[in-house]
Amino acid sequence: MKAIGITLVVLGHAAWLNEDVYTLIYSFHMPLFFFLSGFLASSKREVKQSLIKLFQRLILPFTFFFLISYLFWLPLNILGDGQASKMQWFDPLSRLVTSKADSFHINGVLWFFPCLIIISLAQVIFFSALKPIYSFVIISGMLLLMLLSNELISERWFWSIDSAVIGMFFYQLGVLVKRVNLLSYAVFNNEFKTYLILLFTIPIFYYLALLNGRVDIRELKFGAFPLLFPLIACLGIFILFLISKKLKPRPIFQWLAISSIVIFPLHLIVFRFLHKIEVKIIPNIWYLFDLLPYLNTCIAICCLVFVFRFLKSKTPRLIGL
């Protein structure tokens, strides 16, 4: 699920992607990663050890990837190329302190790190002391309030807390599903029933996702019908789970999943260079640009798998390993 998820994340950021494909991906791809984070979270309430792991696995990589992004952005700022020229060289550093979800102009995907840090802190300090069902009910109420009052938020909250409320719902869902062992139910191991469920759920997901339209947790945009967003996202996660169960384990899935810690924060940097080159050298033929998102996704992932292998061997602690 993580391997397919990171592929969809990269594809969703590729230029010239079909709008419907973009809408379908965005309807559930970030909820998927919050769900997986909760599903894989430790059930033990060891505050000190959890805080140490939080620093090693999230805070340190966040700082490292922010600095990498800043160093790639800085030459563009100095040369006065595009949006970068409109910001002072020190502006991204001040935005690092506040870490609002919409403030990472040097690398938009970095919002996920402070968001997950806040969620993990809340889990360690508060939610881990409660039964998973109580935690899920509480955060469901908070999600409902956020969806209903979203238009009233005029100023984004520090450290992506506003987006973290949304992500926490899927995180707690992952914790609850793991605790009750929901994904191990016998019905999911029956091949005929699995295909029957997929046949029923995929059209519903497709219709509802396109009906609701564009969703973006970072921007607090939840489509035309915000209350449909959690349902659509859960459907997408469930469908991906069923599809993943039908796929045989292969090394490529393992590599993609492990490498996602590097692929996720750095793929936009690769795209930045690919897009600038392609606009200049590729003729303006529509079918070529229809294929480029998929080609660029493969190129970016292949490049960053090698970057991951290098960082893993040289500086594993900086990427949370």
Single out the residue of 195, 221, 224 nearest to residue 208, CA to CA.
224
Exposure string over 102-129, b if 16+ CB within 10 A, otherwise e: bbbbbbbbbbbbbbbbbbbbbbbeebbe
Report whether pLDDT(85) > 70: no
What rounded mean pLDDT belongs to the chain?
89
Mean pLDDT of 49-77: 89
Report whether pLDDT(81) > 70: no
Asked if 292 and 16 count as a contact pair (C-beta separation under 8 A), the reply is yes
Residues 133-181 have pLDDT tens digits of 999 999 999 999 999 887 777 788 898 999 999 999 999 999 999 998 8
pLDDT, residue 186, reads 66
Residues 86-132 have pLDDT tens digits of 677 788 888 888 888 888 888 999 999 999 999 999 999 899 888 99
Among 54-63, 228-237, 271-280, the least confident range: 271-280
pLDDT, residue 80, reads 62
Reduced to 3 states, what is the DSSP secondary structure of residue 42? coil
Reduced to 3 states, what is the DSSP secondary structure of residue 215? strand
Residues 32-54 have pLDDT tens digits of 999 999 999 877 767 788 888 88
pLDDT, residue 83, reads 55
Phi, psi of 153 (to 5 degrees): -80, 110
Q: What is the pTM of this model?
A: 0.92
Residues 226-244 have pLDDT tens digits of 999 999 999 999 999 999 9
Single out the residue of 232, 136, 231 nearest to residue 176, CA to CA.
136
Q: What is the 3-state secondary structure (H, E, C) of 124-189?
A: HHCHHHCCHHHHHHHHHHHHHHHHHHHHHCCCCCHHHHHHHHHHHHHHHHHHHHHHCCHHHCHHHH
